[in-house]
């Protein structure tokens, strides 16, 4: 890689190394859980493409505070991050923001590229703040590409990124109770890399280098002993 380009990218905190697919609406965390269960991001609305944002995650806590004011937010602080270079390899490209007429003209000449076009009207119809990328696919297979998990809180990241291992169950049942109230102890084993907005806020913001160091300190398969609480939460 060109050394000048490397130095420029390191100096620009507004240029992200990652693109992020954030989930939406009040059930955003459940949608993320389903993505992890499926090991895939799916085009559930049949758009013909899957959307990502190039906006640096370290600069987004205040944006998600704005979305928290709504019961059914456009975006929520839950999602999947993929290195930009990896998304590019599977066909991901930045969208083209332009006027309606220019987009129509572009599509007439290159009709196979319509998936990349987004109308832009200053101060009226402006989604350029998303710095959107799209993949012209019905599914992004997470088994075939490195990724990180993003969530609002550190506790949620622990729940999403660790799986249970070596479970020991205390299955006592209270008299007259119709539900299983057992407790479990065991080990958590890291399954995914992840970061929460709590982590970013508590660090008083992060540089790109600090984000990389934070993620590089994680290792899939690392164990963590802790009390698991009610087994209903985990099994």
Classify residue 56: in a domain, yes or no: yes
Give domain status of residue 201, yes or no: no
- pLDDT value of position 125: 94
pLDDT in the model for residue 97: 96
Question: What pLDDT, on a 0 to 100 scale, did the predictor assign at position 32?
Answer: 98
Q: How much is the pLDDT for 35? A: 98
Q: Give pTM, 2 decimals.
A: 0.85
Q: Tell whether 151 is covered by a domain.
A: no
Instruction: Confirm whether 154 is domain-assigned.
Output: no
Rounded (5°) CA angle 56-57-62:
105
Residue tagged 């019905």 (tokens): 138
Residue 107 domain flag: yes
Q: What does the pLDDT read at residue 184?
A: 58
Q: What integer pLDDT is reported at residue 10 of this predicted model? A: 87
Query: How far apart are alpha carbons 108 and 188 in whole angstroms?
Result: 54
Residues in the chain with pLDDT values less than 50: 227-235
Q: How far apart are CA 214 and CA 208, in angstroms?
A: 10
With CA atoms as reference, report the closest residue to 87 among 131, 129, 45: 131
Sign of the alpha-carbon torsion through 35, 37, 40, 46: negative
* Residue 16 within any structural domain of the chain: yes
Q: What is the pLDDT of residue 157?
A: 95
Domains contained in the chain, number: 1
CA distance 63 to 56: 11
What local confidence, expressed as pLDDT, does residue 46 receive?
94
pLDDT of residue 110: 82
Domain that holds residue 65: 3-141
Task: Note the pLDDT of residue 49.
Answer: 96
In the prediction, which pLDDT does 59 show?
Answer: 93
Neighbour tally for 135: CB within 10 Å: 23
Q: For residue 124, is it within any domain?
A: yes
- Whether 106 maps to a domain, the answer reads yes
Helix axes 28-38, 154-161, angle to 10 degrees: 20
């Amino acid at each position: 890689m060109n050394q000048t380009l490397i130095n420029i990218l390191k100096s620009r905190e507004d240029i992200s190394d990652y693109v992020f697919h954030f989930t939406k609406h009040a059930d955003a965390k459940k949608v993320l859980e389903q993505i992890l269960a499926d090991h895939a991001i799916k085009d559930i609305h049949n758009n013909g493409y899957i959307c990502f944002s190039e906006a640096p995650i370290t600069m987004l806590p205040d944006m998600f505070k704005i979305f928290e004011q709504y019961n059914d937010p456009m975006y929520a602080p839950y999602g999947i991050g993929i290195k930009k270079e990896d998304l590019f390899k599977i066909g991901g490209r930045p969208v083209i923001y332009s006027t309606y007429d220019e987009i129509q003209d572009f599509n007439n000449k290159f009709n196979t590229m319509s998936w990349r076009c987004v109308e832009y009207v200053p101060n009226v119809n402006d989604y350029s703040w998303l710095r959107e990328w799209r993949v012209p696919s019905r599914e992004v297979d997470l088994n075939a590409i490195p990724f990180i998990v993003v969530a609002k809180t550190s506790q949620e990241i622990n729940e999403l990124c660790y799986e249970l291992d070596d479970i020991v169950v205390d299955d006592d049942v209270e008299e007259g109770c119709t539900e299983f109230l057992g407790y479990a102890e065991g080990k958590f084993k890291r399954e995914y890399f992840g970061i929460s907005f709590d982590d970013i806020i508590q660090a008083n913001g992060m540089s790109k280098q600090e984000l990389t160091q934070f993620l590089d300190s994680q290792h899939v398969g690392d164990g963590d002993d802790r009390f698991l609480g009610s087994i209903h939460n985990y099994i």
